[in-house]
């Protein structure tokens, strides 16, 4: 099929800000899912923007989400480099989403990103970033002015994305068409709305845009009004989950269909299978794709701290008043209202115990918690590990990496574990390990003086031939340590038997925001956190 003059492989897109937010993820999705013919990027501004602190995403009802990411992005110049470095099939349409505070800024961003894009989506609809998005997109004159300015400045199609939070969306669409828009995308999130737990607003921004199954009727209404008002193609987004929803959008006037929040919790392989089945459902009038969708749980459970065991000034073991059900390889989020949210591996599940290193303002607050403090947890998330019991497991830990590996060491036999730490005061739980333990500290205060990879290399050279054939490695710690460990391990095992958990920035835990993108284009929160080396 054709879209804006280009032959494309499929009729679907993933709306801006969901999954395809990083160059490597874009490349992976584009090369593996032909049904997604239009790759829509996250919204990019002129300068880097940190956005809001976590929590940035919450779930207020099954299949219904609220977010306030805050237009987080690396800036136009850096994102242009990401797009320049990736390779995608010729029949994919890169629709780069951009934003600005006025027409001049939109044009500046557009000029930087046009050489690496097939079209530009104009974000005139974000409901939670002051001075951007919806603040502009509710004014027909500004919509026409910005659309016209960008259209005159570039030679590729321009696609304004409209907000449902305007009573005159047909008038807004006409203004965009008058400004030279080649197509319209709608809708962005509804709202903003407010959601709380125990009287505390979950989102750090307090308010956020609503998405998911609950906004389907609003999306359909808006698309119908837009398609009746303009004579250009319309991309329909909002609440789509199955073939029936797509047919409804098609009847309302859409020709391209965006599926976003429904993908929550799906691994990259599952996203691929979902779109394949969704396309097949439309062709054969079946309903198999929706069966793949997951019921993710983002609800919080309240815990009370019973001990903050300070091992050093910047390091604590936090022990809570009850346990949690979790499997090796999974992780959870901990939230302190008014402070922030962080992902943690569970060191011990009964009672729930965390190993916390102070690295920033949020983790500093965690290490300073006093006995009796309330902390809220959600999860678990991630893909639990499937381990062959006949394997010989070699676990390599650096920093707080033992928190991810302890349950493996506890629950499986034939395990050896290698632990690296700054000094003896940053070692923990070594007395609880019932297996062979090898320790290295930077200052030599305990065990080998030097790197954990030193003792790993020595021990591997001592293994018998039968043990060497059964090796499976699990590495968790700083990226530099993991790179060094993998370089050694590849002499003893292929990449299928080497698993790495790197501390990527993880914000949502359910695969939507894409912040935890890896160098291979996976999302560590759903595809990992342990990924094959």
pLDDT tens track for 240-266: 999 999 999 999 999 999 999 999 999
* Structural contact between residues 150 and 122, judged by C-beta atoms closer than 8 angstroms: yes
Measured between alpha carbons, how far is 460 from 455 in angstroms, rounded to an integer? 9
φ/ψ of residue 308, rounded to 5: -110, 100
Query: Smallest Cα–Cα separation from 517: which of 75, 95, 33, 26?
Result: 26
Indicate the class that CATH gives domain 392-502: alpha beta
Give the mean pLDDT of 497-523: 94
Confidence check: pLDDT of 125 > 80: no
| Calpha distance 165→170 (Å, rounded) | 12
**b vs e for 66-99, b when ≥16 Cβ sit within 10 Å of the residue's Cβ?**
bbbbbbbbbebeebbebbeebebeeebbbbbbbb
Q: What is the CA radius of gyration of the chain?
A: 25
Q: What is the mean pLDDT of residues 479-490?
A: 96
- What is the DSSP pairing of strand 2-3 with strand 6-7? antiparallel
Residue 352's DSSP bridge partners are 349
Look at strands 436-441 and 93-98 and give their pairing. unpaired
Q: How much is the pLDDT for 2?
A: 96
pLDDT of residue 130: 63
Residue 465's pLDDT is: 84
pLDDT tens, residue by residue, 319-369: 999 999 999 999 999 999 999 999 999 999 999 999 999 988 899 999 999
Q: Contact at 8 Å (CB) between 470 and 392?
A: yes
pLDDT at 128 over 70: no
What percent of the chain has a predicted confidence (pLDDT) above 70? 98
Q: 240: phi > 0 → left, psi -120 to 50 → alpha, else beta; which?
A: beta
Instruction: Please check the confidence at residue 390 and state whether its pLDDT lies above 90.
Output: no
Tell me if 259 sits within 8 A of 10, measured CB to CB: no
| pLDDT surpassing 80 at residue 126 | no
As a whole number, the mean pLDDT across the chain is 95
Q: Which residues pair with 65 in a beta bridge?
A: 59, 211
CA angle 515, 61, 509 (to 5 degrees): 20
Instruction: State residue 505's pLDDT score.
Output: 87
Separation of alpha carbons 165 and 137, rounded Å: 9
pLDDT for residue 133 is more than 90? no
CATH topology of domain 2-52+70-194+214-282: TIM Barrel (3.20.20)
What pLDDT score was predicted for residue 210? 97
pLDDT tens digits for range 75-99: 999 999 999 999 999 999 999 999 9
CATH class of 301-381: mainly beta
Give Cα 234 distance to the centre of its chain.
27
Torsion 504-270-202-122 (CA) sign: positive
Both tokens of 419, joined, read: 């632990």
Least confident range from 58-62, 71-75, 125-129, 268-272: namely 125-129
What pLDDT is attached to residue 413? 87
**Which of 532, 482, 484, 485 is CA-nearest to residue 503?**
482
Candidate from 125-129, 397-401, 528-532 with smallest mean pLDDT: 125-129
In the chain, where are the structural domains located? Answer: 2-52+70-194+214-282, 301-381, 392-502
Q: How many CA atoms lie within 13 A of 468 on its CB side?
A: 12
**Comparing 187-196, 276-285, 384-393, which segment has the lowest mean pLDDT?**
384-393
Rounded mean pLDDT, 9-35: 98
Q: What is the number of other CB atoms lying within 10 angstroms of the CB of residue 304? A: 12
Q: Which of 64, 126, 516, 525 is catalytic?
A: 126
Catalytic residue list contains 126: yes
In 3D space, the residue among 453, 458, 424, 456 whose CA is nearest the CA of residue 441 turns out to be: 424
């Amino acid at each position: 099929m054709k879209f804006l003059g280009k032959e494309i492989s499929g009729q679907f897109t993933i709306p801006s800000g969901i999954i395809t937010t990083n160059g490597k993820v874009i490349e992976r999705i584009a090369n593996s899912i032909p049904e997604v013919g239009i790759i829509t990027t996250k919204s990019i501004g002129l300068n880097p923007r940190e956005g809001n602190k976590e929590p940035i995403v919450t779930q207020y009802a099954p299949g219904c989400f609220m977010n306030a990411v805050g237009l987080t992005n690396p800036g136009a110049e850096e994102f242009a480099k990401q797009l320049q470095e990736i390779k995608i099939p010729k029949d994919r349409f890169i629709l780069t989403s951009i934003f600005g505070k006025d027409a001049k800024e939109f044009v500046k961003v557009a000029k930087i990103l046009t050489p690496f894009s097939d079209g530009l989506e104009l974000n005139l609809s974000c409901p939670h970033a002051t001075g951007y998005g919806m603040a502009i997109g509710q004014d027909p004159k500004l919509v026409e002015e910005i659309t016209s300015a960008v259209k005159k400045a570039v030679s590729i199609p321009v696609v304004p994305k409209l907000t449902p939070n305007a009573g005159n969306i047909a008038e807004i669409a006409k203004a965009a068409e008058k400004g030279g828009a080649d197509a319209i995308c709608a809708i962005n999130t509804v709202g903003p709305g407010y959601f709380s737990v125990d009287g505390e607003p979950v989102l750090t921004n307090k308010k956020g845009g609503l998405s998911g199954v609950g906004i389907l009727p609003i999306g359909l209404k808006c698309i119908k009004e837009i398609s009746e008002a303009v004579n250009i193609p319309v991309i329909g987004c909002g609440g789509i989950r199955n073939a029936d929803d797509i047919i409804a959008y098609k009847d309302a006037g859409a020709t391209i269909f965006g599926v976003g929040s429904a993908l929550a919790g799906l691994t990259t392989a599952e996203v691929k299978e979902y779109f394949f089945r969704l396309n097949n459902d439309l062709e054969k009038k079946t309903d198999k794709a929706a069966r793949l969708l997951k019921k993710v749980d983002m609800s919080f459970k309240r815990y009370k701290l019973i001990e903050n065991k300070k091992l050093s000034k910047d390091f604590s073991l936090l022990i809570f008043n009850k346990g949690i059900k979790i499997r090796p390889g999974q992780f959870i989020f901990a939230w302190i209202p008014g402070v922030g949210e962080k992902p943690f591996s569970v060191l011990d599940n009964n009672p729930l115990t965390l190993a916390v290193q102070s690295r920033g303002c949020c983790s500093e607050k965690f290490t300073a918690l006093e006995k009796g403090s309330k902390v809220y947890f959600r999860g678990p998330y991630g893909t639990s590990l499937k381990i062959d019991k006949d394997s010989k497991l070699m676990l390599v830990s650096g920093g707080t990496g033992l928190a991810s590996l302890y349950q493996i060491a506890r629950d499986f036999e034939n395990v050896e574990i290698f632990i690296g730490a700054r000094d003896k005061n940053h070692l923990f739980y070594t007395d609880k390990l019932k297996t062979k333990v090898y320790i290295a500290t930077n200052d030599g205060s305990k065990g080998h003086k030097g790197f954990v990879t030193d003792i790993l290399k020595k021990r591997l050279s001592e293994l018998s031939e039968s043990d060497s054939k059964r090796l499976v490695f699990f590495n968790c710690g700083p990226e530099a340590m993991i790179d060094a460990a993998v370089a050694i391990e590849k002499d003893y095992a292929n990449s299928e038997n080497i698993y790495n958990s790197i501390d990527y920035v993880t914000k949502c835990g359910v695969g939507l925001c894409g912040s935890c993108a890896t160098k291979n284009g996976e999302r560590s929160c759903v595809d990992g956190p342990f990924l094959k080396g």
